[in-house]
Chain A
Amino acid sequence: MGRRTRSAAAMAIVPLLLLSFFHLLQFVSSTQEIRVLSAEKRIDLTSPIARVFLTLKVENYGAPEVPEILIAFSPTESEHLAILKASTVEGKRKKKTYVPLSVSPVSSPDAPNGAQLYSVTLRSPLQSGETTTVEALYVLTHSLEPFPTEISQSEPQLVYYRDSATILSPYTIVEQTVYIKTPSSKVESYTKVEPTARSGSETRYGPYHDRLPYSFSPVIVHFENNNPFAVVEELVREIEISHWGNLQIRDHYRLKHAGARHKGVFSRTIAALGYFYWVYDTYAKHPCRLDYQFRQSLSASFKTLLAMLPPRVHSVYYRDDIGNISSSHLRINSQKSELEIEPRYPLFGGWKATFTIGYGLPLQDFLFESSDGRRYLNFSFGCPLIETVVDDLTVKVILPEGSRNPTAAVPFPVNQHLEMTYSYLDVVGRTTLVLQKRNVVPEHNYPFQVYYDFNPIFMLAEPLMLVSSVFLFFVAYIAYVHIDLSIRRPLKTNS
């Protein structure tokens, strides 16, 4: 209820906001004379992650050439923004190619109400009177808010999505349309900002004409989304390189169902979590199958997760801190490996689970030598579970003992620092490069590289150590046998 009133209040202050935007308008766009001829925003809400495709046709009507254009996000959006990619279309019709453009955040104190601007650098500066089309994809996490916040086991899960009917932009937009795609046609309510139309699972806002910069008209869509809201609250990936030919991966997950919280009773018979059980019949002395009549579950609980692992994976394990979890399936083919895992119990809204997935990979698939003699690891960033948001991702690349000067090449900004890890019989420790990133989505599954220097002689350190210790043991034993340590006067015979 509280949220609803707040949104109503937000709607009331919209005119005020618009006024203030209008005042700010002059000096923001005075530097560049750009307008957006047509804009289209397609919001895909079919999964728990909101994906937004933005197409802007931009025109430079001023005299100076424009090297970059700006995209604006509201403060909440920028907080939930996981990734922003921009590209431009080159060529016509069939030879259409998408050329990626570089994107960087702009610190703009002059943007109104804390709007965050990102600048997209164009391939070639936009000359006076020219137009270009920029396509942007951005992904928002945690932007679907379950309402009601608690549901019982058999109720559907309804969520709110909040956005603006008009596209937030520092430029005047001549014509714009916003499409919101929901998983089904079951939409409880949506804010109407005329012209608004709804057909099937798609709601359309617009077209609107000649909206001023930073114009904003909040809308709420309340719809059914029964997708499991799998959120990994924390994922620690340890990638350990052994130059003896193995790459060992250990992923420690803390998983949460971030959808509407489960309330009230739990019942296996309603849950419809499986259609039969294997039971051990004491009297028949053999297991028999027990079929049930289940009611189809509506709720957004989830039972299985799918992890995409690299091909040629071996020694896969799936466990948690109290032992092996016996419900998983591994399918391996030459292209990829799929690991289907079930948490120990089905996850309902608000329930949590922790587990660890570990596996080994052949080193030659991932470790290469660059032209300057350095070695580099080429591995995929991000979470192997499909359609999952990771709130806090830590990737630890544990380099072999004796490696130096690690540097990482990651295609997006991450925090990084070095630490030392001590593993089997280490003396100096293994240099570990730690990469941290918040708000990671499947779009981050992109290869990254870690370069380091390594002298192969270090591979022999531990075997030599073992050999010498065994040798020393025998030397010590021989010495002990031959030295008489007793205080007595030596007798004539040695025992």
Chain B
Amino acid sequence: MLQPLNLNRIHRWGLQSPPASHRLLPCLIQPSMADPSEAKGEGSLRKAFGGVLGVFILLLIGTLAFSIRLFSVIKYESVIHEFDPYFNYRVTQFLTKNGIYDFWNWFDDRTWYPLGRVIGGTVYPGLTLTAGSIWWLLNNLNIPLSVETVCVFTAPIFSANAAWATYLLTKAPPSHQFEVKGTGAGLTAAALLAMVPSYISRSVAGSYDNEAVAIFALIFTFYLYIKTLNTGSLFYATLNALSYFYMVCSWGGYTFIINLIPMHVLLCIVTGRYSSRLYIAYAPLVVLGTLLASLVPVVGFNAVMTSEHFASFLVKCQEVFIILHVVALVYYIKGILSPKMFKVAMTLVVTIGIAVCSAVLAILIALVASSPTKGWSGRSLSLLDPTYASKYIPIIASVSEHQPPTWPSYFMDINVLAFLVPAGIVACFLPLSDASSFVILYIATSVYFSGVMVRLMLVLAPAACIMSGIALSEAFDAFTRSIKFQLPKLFEASPSDAGDTNRGTQDEPTKVDNNTPTEKTETTAKERPSEKHRKKEKKKLEKGKEIKEKGKENTDKVSNKPLNAKKLLVLPLEASAVAILLLLILGAFYVVHCVWAAAEAYSAPSIVLTSHSHDGLHVFDDFREAYAWLKHNTDVDDKVASWWDYGYQTTAMANRTVIVDNNTWNNTHIATVGTAMSSPEKPAWDIFNSLDVKYVLVVFGGLVGYSSDDINKFLWMVRIGGGVFPHIREPDYLRDGQYRIDAHATPTMLNCLMYKLSYYRFVETDGKGFDRVRGTEIGKKHFRLTHFEEVFTTHHWMVRIYKLKSPKNRIRGKSKKKTNPKTTSKINSNKNVKKNPWQ
């Protein structure tokens, strides 16, 4: 029993005070604050022990980060998730099959038919290259893992890396100023990041997406920046540029870094914190980083040209760069000139400098203003003006992750961290260092960006974790310290028992003694499920014990301590005990929430759906059924049209050419498909035929109640289509402003292709045509298709595939032969359909 107690104790105390020089064993008896007069050898032993323990905890955090993301594999299967990951998977397959050179030159003719897409030049290659090299390495070691397996597990592996990077980053900022809280805060932040739901949502096993790798790169770049800032080492500055390069390779979010760091540099200069270390941290990053970034084909000269970078590179990065150099020069000259001469030189330089700067600024503004969007891309414009996208670009607005988040989504994604962040900010201000000012800036900007787009919640998550880590660590530090200071006083009184000690303190030990057991019972009752918490609790309990021991045996030392210790933040004993308890409950709540989010909310691969009923689990595997059907039973060069959501999946799983896909780079092309879907059969057939389409795929959830189907997305098709082709007008599809598909729906709606393809023969299933998503009977039940024929419908009708009928020779006179609609509805055989193509 003694041994584990001992270990835990050392974790709490040993790691928090790395330079503390205590003996390992005697510290059971002598756990007082750092005593510099102790022997150095024992201190290093203790430090080594603390280091090993720290490494061990970090390993556990890595394991936690990895394994909490495996719910998707356990509950479902080892499979690639959703939409974008399928594209990344396909690119990785290509890379592993054809090699890196073919990858850079890959022109993909399977998508955006007939335009195609230059994959090598339009994709962020970081993720693909990472997974590709992992696969290559494993296969060279004769570990025959499939590309799919590697891709599935890339995200969890990088989450573990990100947790470790968070540890480094959080440990780094305060280390320059006060080293005591560094490791503790680092470990706490790493543990928080390992299971923050926001990041889990993008990095569960199978979610093979850029963000999974990019968050690691982001944190690591920040860490190296801080490290350079603290050390002023060119080595770290170079590493920082390389890490920034990796980030640029991985994700478009690199602009965040190149915006944030100049802002921080500017902040430092403005607040008079300029130092040579700042210069070394910034100048190599800008020069090397930008050079490297422009090597990435997808970025290229964008690294200096577009306004996303104008904000950073020219307006800020460059300007900051110039300012930095001016400041550096000023400091340098200040050093070598006499004050008088300096004043003269200053006025000269300032006048010339202002003239030059204003000229450059004027040119820049002219350049930026000459471009139509003022050099901003739509997505970043919507960053500045959150309502921009919904007003002007339906294609951006139609993506749910580009919407501003709601308050519940903050609670869902960062949970209790939202409450801890302010405390962390406060902690960072006492005292403010270069590093902690950076973290403050980071959280401030990321809070803003996350408020604009749900997707950027991901950038907020690490910042929130760091802040909360610092807050929690500081809080524990303050509370335990105040307990530690006050407990000995109590015990001083209790053994001596004499009347000279005051009554008030004599009451306190009993209170504390009551407190600790109740704490224990409460916490055990509430937080049984979380292991981590139990550990904490144990730690706390034994801390109480050891404090008592300490109190008993170190009576003489105690008297010194309140004197030489910094007297700040000594709280009342009961208050701190209760506060610790509350913090633990908060932590436990966070853990429970994260596990729930990982298991229930974010693990569904979305290509396989399940539902529970009284007699077990039902699997809806219709998407893969349809894609497998397309793959095996259509010609390899056939073109499949569907709404762009399913483009990536169709190319990856069915290996068929698609018209549009999730890389929404060509609005007109998407609008064409949208128009076809919103048109009546014949014009739709003409549009599709002109695009060489052979099959049309629609997703229909009406039979089983799958709500994100094409009918529910249909208004976006109308809007996007109408944005380019004005004859498609949204009001034509709405009855009194309401979108409906029942008997009150507009004729345009009931005759459009999407309606027909979704509800064709639907009435035969239950006789009424009851749509379970919309909760109504459909408006037009019995109709036939003249230009399309159904070739496949999946088991639950979730995917329906139609083939374009080849044009028939028109025989005059035959078109007049019409059959009575009442009788035709009952005839199931397709012969009749064929005989009268012009119904």
Interfacial residues, chain A to chain B (CB-CB below 8 A):
152, 154, 264-270, 273-274, 277-283, 286-288, 290, 292, 295, 320, 322-327, 344-345, 350-354, 422-427
Contacts and interface: CB of A to CB of B under 8 A. Distances in A.
B624 A274 contact: no
A344 B794 CA distance: 9
Given A279-B796, A287-B618, A323-B624, A266 B790 contact: yes
B632 A290 contact: no
B653 interface: yes
A352 B625 contact: no
Contacts of B118: none
A267 B790 contact: yes
Contacts of B627: 322
29 contacts: A152-B829, A152-B830, A264-B789, A264-B830, A265-B830, A266-B791, A266-B793, A268-B797, A269-B765, A270-B828, A273-B795, A277-B796, A279-B703, A279-B704, A280-B704, A281-B705, A281-B772, A282-B707, A282-B772, A283-B705, A286-B613, A344-B628, A345-B629, A345-B792, A345-B794, A423-B142, A424-B144, A425-B143, A427-B142
Interface string B790-813: 111111110000000000000000
A287 B141 contact: no
Interface in B182-216: none
Given A270-B828, A287-B611, A353-B628, A426 B764 contact: no
- A contact patch SS: loop
**Interface bracket on B:** 35 or more
A345 B766 CA distance: 22
A277 B765 CA distance: 10
B144 A283 contact: no
Contacts of B707: 282
Nearest to A350: B633
B613 A269 contact: no
A353 B630 CA distance: 10
Contacts of B283: none
A275 to B, nearest CB: 13
Most chain B beta carbons < 10 A, residue from A270, A326, A424? A326
Contacts of A273: 795
B773 interface: yes
Q: 8 tightest A-B contacts by CB?
A: A287-B613, A282-B705, A323-B79, A269-B764, A352-B632, A279-B704, A326-B619, A265-B830
Contacts of A282: 705, 707, 772-773, 775
Contacts of B705: 279-283
A350 B634 CA distance: 11
A477 to B, nearest CB: 12
A277 B703 contact: yes
Given A322-B628, A322-B653, A422-B142, A269 B761 contact: yes
B632 A278 contact: no
Contacts of B795: 268, 273-274, 277, 345
Given A267-B790, A277-B795, A426 B142 contact: yes
A345 B625 contact: yes
Contacts of A327: 621
Nearest to A325: B621
Interface string B691-711: 000000000000111110000
Contacts of A351: 629, 632-633
Contacts of B531: none
Interface string B138-154: 00011110000000000
B624 A423 contact: no
A326 B830 CA distance: 32
Contacts of B796: 277, 279
Contacts of B686: none
A347 to B, nearest CB: 9
Interface string B464-505: 000000000000000000000000000000000000000000
B791 A265 contact: yes
A10 B613 CA distance: 63
Interface string B815-839: 0000000000000111001000000
Determine the main DSSP class of B at the interface with A.
loop
A280 B614 CA distance: 12
Contact of A344 (B624, B704, B830): B624
B77 interface: yes
B632 A279 contact: no
A336 B348 CA distance: 97
Contacts of A325: 621
Nearest to A264: B830
Contact of B792 (A154, A266, A326, A352): A266
Interface string B113-154: 000000000000000000000000000011110000000000
Contacts of A264: 789, 830
B570 interface: no
A265 B788 CA distance: 10
A345 B765 contact: no
A352 B633 contact: yes
Nearest to B771: A282
Nearest to A319: B77
A464 to B, nearest CB: 16
Contacts of B793: 266-268
A425 B790 contact: no
Nearest to B607: A323
B143 A345 contact: no
Interface string B143-179: 1100000000000000000000000000000000000
A277 B705 CA distance: 12
Contacts of B611: 278, 280, 287
Nearest to A286: B613
B784 to A, nearest CB: 11
A281 B618 CA distance: 13
A326 B621 contact: yes
Contacts of A322: 79, 624, 627-628, 653
Given A267-B793, A290-B766, A423-B144, A278 B613 contact: yes
Contacts of B653: 322
Contacts of B612: 287
A344 B772 CA distance: 24
Contacts of A292: 765-766
A280 B633 CA distance: 29
A320 B629 CA distance: 12
A279 B772 contact: yes
Contacts of A274: 795
Contacts of B775: 282-283
Contacts of B789: 264-265
A476 B563 CA distance: 48
A264 B802 CA distance: 11
Given A280-B706, A325-B621, 7 more contacts: A277-B795, A280-B772, A282-B705, A287-B613, A324-B79, A345-B628, A345-B795
A357 to B, nearest CB: 16
Contacts of A423: 142, 144
A354 B144 CA distance: 21
Nearest to B79: A323
Nearest to A343: B628
B242 interface: no
Contacts of B608: 323, 326
A72 B613 CA distance: 62
A495 to B, nearest CB: 10
Contacts of B618: 278, 280, 287
Nearest to A354: B632
Contacts of B613: 278, 286-288
A320 B830 contact: no
Given A152-B830, A278-B613, A424 B772 contact: no
Contacts of B79: 322-324
Contacts of B620: 280
A452 to B, nearest CB: 21
Interface string B49-88: 0000000000000000000000000000111000000000
A16 B537 CA distance: 101
Contacts of A283: 705, 772, 775
A353 B621 CA distance: 16
